[in-house]
């Protein structure tokens, strides 16, 4: 028999500003359950979470909470103003029987000492302090509203690991797809004031959502064709873009293969010769770049070539120098030494995440047309501003809405619309996914896929990088940067570990250095050894077997009641999944090295 829920919301109703926001929403959370709450920007997700946490009073419906259960809520904008230091803020969230040491331990893990003045903290440091406060008590139920906002990749991966180890039930709101896929076992979709529940993780949500929308549209078609036409571009457009993006992902794979071949071809050729063959295609070329701030090296002896059509992702921890490197590559900042060459006829467009270019008194239409008429000039073609607004999920009646009244996600979409309306062939995006909802991320991915020029993007969003990047540039520390072909997942497979983990000394060799070592080692060998040949023949089959085992373990873990029914079995399967994934990564790395050796031996 399943245990009773910790929390139950039934038929919740709430009206804000005279407009119904929630019109019969339900939410039930069992002990140990992992739920992600999803929905369009402005659908009321944060409001429903606050009602569940007892912070907002509902207009109607029933809320039941187990009297002896403990709950903690992480807001989007934590307030530390009443505390003298960070440790005091974290300890204030502990109960009478909670471990004081755990508060200090979590702060240390999150890179804080505890004696910091809250008034002097950055947005990322405030988020880390708030996470320590809600994690320290290990509550029965944990509500997290956009927990990855302002966190870098090492912190996000640490948070995933910490949450996976907790016994707490979780309800998550996040725009980070990979974060939701890795942690959720149940998905609750808030749509037009009501909730729909899928007893599977976020990884299967989008296909299910598309099916639900299609079924609803078939039913609505018989009753009211007009309503379908009005809602089609708002709701079906999102799922349609996702389907089209599947084809784009296939094309991205082809681009990545071309990228690998281009890199291999360029590796042994003089710059002057290869430049001649790619005349008109060079965007940026850097050779032996060095840059330091004081005694701290940011970039050291770094060389790179960015060609037309490349989609380069830049990743690393906060403070690694990603924005500094981006400014060097785009000619905005001079290196201390080395050489930077920009290609001819570059027209650069930058996504301003600070949104300083938006004037509060502007209307949405003014911002898109710069106050000039009813049309937007897109690549030399006139497009009516209303049609362009629809491309970015804005309703026609929003044309005269003041920018000051737009939500954060809507302002993000507006910045995208402005940046992409400018004539350019080089798009530079510095952390474009911050504060964007899932629909806006879908839109941004589509825009990048269709963009005819070159894209360089700094991001902490792993799923986003997987969807858009043809290569990823990683900060390895001490000014060392290494480029890997493919997206974020490809980088981890080649590198052997994630951004937040320490690198073995041998791993820090550049791919070019590794290739030279392999070539030198094979100089005296005219053929592969029997052991190498046997491994090349058998490794793909062994990788397939482990992949099937991984899929089987994942299917067992997705059982919605496993965690509550048999915690030891859940922990055992989770450990097996981790070990299996490590074996697969190790075998794939071995196979890649042997393939490179084979190619070297065969000339």
pLDDT tens, position by position, 419-435: 777 778 888 888 887 76
Residue 383 contacts residue 391 (beta carbons within 8 Å): no
Tokens of 208: 């299910």
* Dist. CA 87–CA 117, nearest whole Å: 10
Residue 465 contacts residue 459 (beta carbons within 8 Å): yes
Same fold, 7-213 and 252-344+429-435+455-508: yes
Residue 583 contacts residue 518 (beta carbons within 8 Å): no
Between 65-79, 153-167, 319-333, 570-584, the lowest mean confidence (pLDDT) is in: 570-584
Under CATH, which architecture does the 520-601 domain have? Orthogonal Bundle (1.10)
- In a 10 Å sphere around its CB, with 0-12 CB exposed, 13-18 middle and 19+ buried, how is residue 222 labelled? exposed
Residue 427 confidence (pLDDT): 87
pLDDT at 364 over 90: no
* Dist. CA 194–CA 314, nearest whole Å: 39
Tokens of 538: 């058998």
Q: What is the pLDDT of residues 394-407, one digit of tens each?
A: 888 888 888 877 76
Between 207-221, 259-273, 287-301, 452-466, the lowest mean confidence (pLDDT) is in: 259-273
Residue that the structure tokens 């785009």 belong to: 330
Query: Domain 7-213 adopts which CATH fold?
Result: Rossmann fold (3.40.50)
Q: What is the pLDDT of residues 101-135, one digit of tens each?
A: 899 999 999 989 999 998 888 888 999 999 999 99
Query: How much of the chain, in percent, has pLDDT values that exceed 90?
Result: 32
Among 173, 184, 104, 170, CA closest to 136: 104
pLDDT at 519 over 50: no
Q: What is the pLDDT of residues 182-218, one digit of tens each?
A: 999 999 999 989 999 999 999 999 889 988 888 887 7
Please tell me the chain's helix, strand, coil percentages from 3-state DSSP, rounded to the nearest 5.
Answer: 45, 20, 30
Between 80-84, 146-150, 228-232, the lowest mean confidence (pLDDT) is in: 228-232
Q: Where does the pLDDT of residue 366 fall: very low under 50, low under 70, confident under 90, or very high at 90 and above?
A: confident
DSSP string, 353-402: TT-TT--TT-BHHHHHHTTS-SEEEETTEEEEHHHHHHHTT--GGGTT-B
Between 85-89, 110-114, 256-260, 562-566, the lowest mean confidence (pLDDT) is in: 256-260
Superfamily covering domain 252-344+429-435+455-508: P-loop containing nucleotide triphosphate hydrolases (3.40.50.300)
More confident residue, 225 or 161: 161
Among 521, 483, 513, 504, CA closest to 586: 504
Q: Where does the pLDDT of residue 260 fall: very low under 50, low under 70, confident under 90, or very high at 90 and above?
A: low
More confident residue, 186 or 342: 186
Backbone dihedral region for residue 280 (phi beyond 0: left; psi -120 to 50: alpha; all else: beta):
left
Strands 337-342 vs 296-307: parallel, antiparallel or unpaired: unpaired
Residue 251 contacts residue 259 (beta carbons within 8 Å): no
Q: Dihedral (C-alpha) 148, 149, 152, 157: value to the nearest 10 degrees?
A: 0
Q: What is the pLDDT of residues 434-480, one digit of tens each?
A: 767 777 788 788 878 878 889 999 988 999 999 899 999 998 888 89
Domain ranges in the chain? 7-213, 252-344+429-435+455-508, 348-423, 520-601
DSSP letter assigned to residue 235: I
């Amino acid at each position: 028999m399943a245990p009773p829920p910790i929390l139950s919301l039934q038929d919740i109703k709430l009206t804000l500003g005279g407009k119904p926001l929630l019109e019969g929403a339900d939410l039930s959370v069992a002990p140990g359950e992992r739920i992600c709450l999803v929905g369009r920007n402005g659908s009321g997700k944060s409001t429903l979470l606050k009602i569940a946490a007892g912070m907002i009073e509902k207009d109607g419906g029933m809320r039941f909470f187990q009297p002896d259960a403990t709950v903690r809520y992480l807001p989007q904008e934590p307030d530390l103003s009443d505390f003298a230091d960070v440790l005091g803020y974290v300890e204030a969230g502990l109960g009478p029987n909670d471990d004081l040491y755990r508060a200090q331990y979590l702060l240390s893990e999150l890179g804080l000492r505890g004696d910091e003045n809250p008034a002097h903290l950055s947005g990322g440091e405030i988020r880390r302090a708030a996470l320590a406060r809600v994690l320290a008590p290990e509550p029965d139920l944990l509500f997290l509203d956009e927990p990855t906002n302002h966190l870098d990749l090492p912190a996000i991966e640490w948070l995933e690991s910490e949450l996976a180890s907790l016994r707490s039930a979780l309800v998550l709101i996040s725009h980070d797809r990979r974060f939701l896929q890795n942690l959720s076992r149940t998905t609750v979709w808030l749509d037009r004031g009501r909730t729909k529940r899928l007893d599977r993780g976020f990884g299967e949500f989008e296909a299910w959502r598309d099916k639900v929308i299609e079924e609803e549209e078939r039913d609505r078609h018989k009753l009211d064709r007009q309503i379908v036409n009005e809602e089609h571009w708002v709701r079906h457009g999102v799922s349609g873009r996702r389907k089209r993006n599947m084809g784009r992902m296939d094309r991205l794979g082809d681009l990545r293969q071309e990228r690998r071949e281009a890199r291999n071809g360029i590796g042994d050729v003089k710059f002057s010769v290869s430049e001649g063959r790619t005349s008109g295609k060079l965007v940026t070329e850097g050779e032996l770049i060095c840059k330091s701030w004081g005694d701290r090296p940011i970039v050291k002896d770094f060389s790179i070539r960015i060609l037309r059509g490349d989609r380069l992702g830049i990743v690393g921890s906060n403070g690694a120098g990603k924005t500094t490197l981006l400014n060097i590559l785009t000619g905005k900042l001079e290196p201390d030494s080395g050489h930077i060459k920009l290609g001819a006829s570059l027209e650069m467009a930058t996504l301003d995440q600070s949104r300083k270019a938006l004037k509060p008194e502007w209307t949405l239409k003014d911002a898109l047309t710069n106050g000039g008429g009813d049309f937007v000039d897109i690549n030399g073609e006139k497009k009516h501003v209303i049609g362009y607004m629809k491309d970015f999920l804005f309703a026609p009646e929003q044309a005269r809405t003041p920018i000051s009244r737009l939500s954060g996600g809507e302002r993000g979409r507006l910045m995208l619309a402005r940046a992409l309306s400018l004539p350019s062939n080089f798009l530079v995006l510095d952390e474009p996914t911050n504060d964007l909802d899932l629909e806006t991320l879908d839109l941004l991915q589509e825009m990048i896929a269709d963009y005819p020029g070159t894209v360089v993007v700094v991001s902490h969003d792993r799923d986003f990088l997987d969807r858009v990047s043809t290569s990823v540039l990683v900060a390895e520390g001490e000014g060392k940067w290494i480029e890997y072909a493919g997206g974020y997942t490809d980088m981890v497979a080649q590198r052997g570990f994630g951004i937040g983990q320490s690198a073995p000394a041998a791993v820090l060799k550049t791919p070019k250095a590794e290739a030279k070592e392999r070539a030198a080692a094979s100089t005296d060998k005219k053929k592969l050894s029997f052991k190498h040949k046997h491994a090349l023949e058998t490794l793909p089959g062994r990788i397939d077997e482990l992949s099937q085992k991984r899929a089987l373990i994942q299917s067992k873990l997705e059982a919605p009641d496993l965690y509550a029914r048999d915690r030891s079995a859940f922990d055992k399967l989770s450990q097996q999944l981790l070990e299996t994934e490590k074996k697969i990564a190790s075998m794939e790395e071995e196979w890649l090295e042997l393939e490179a050796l084979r190619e070297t031996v065969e000339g």
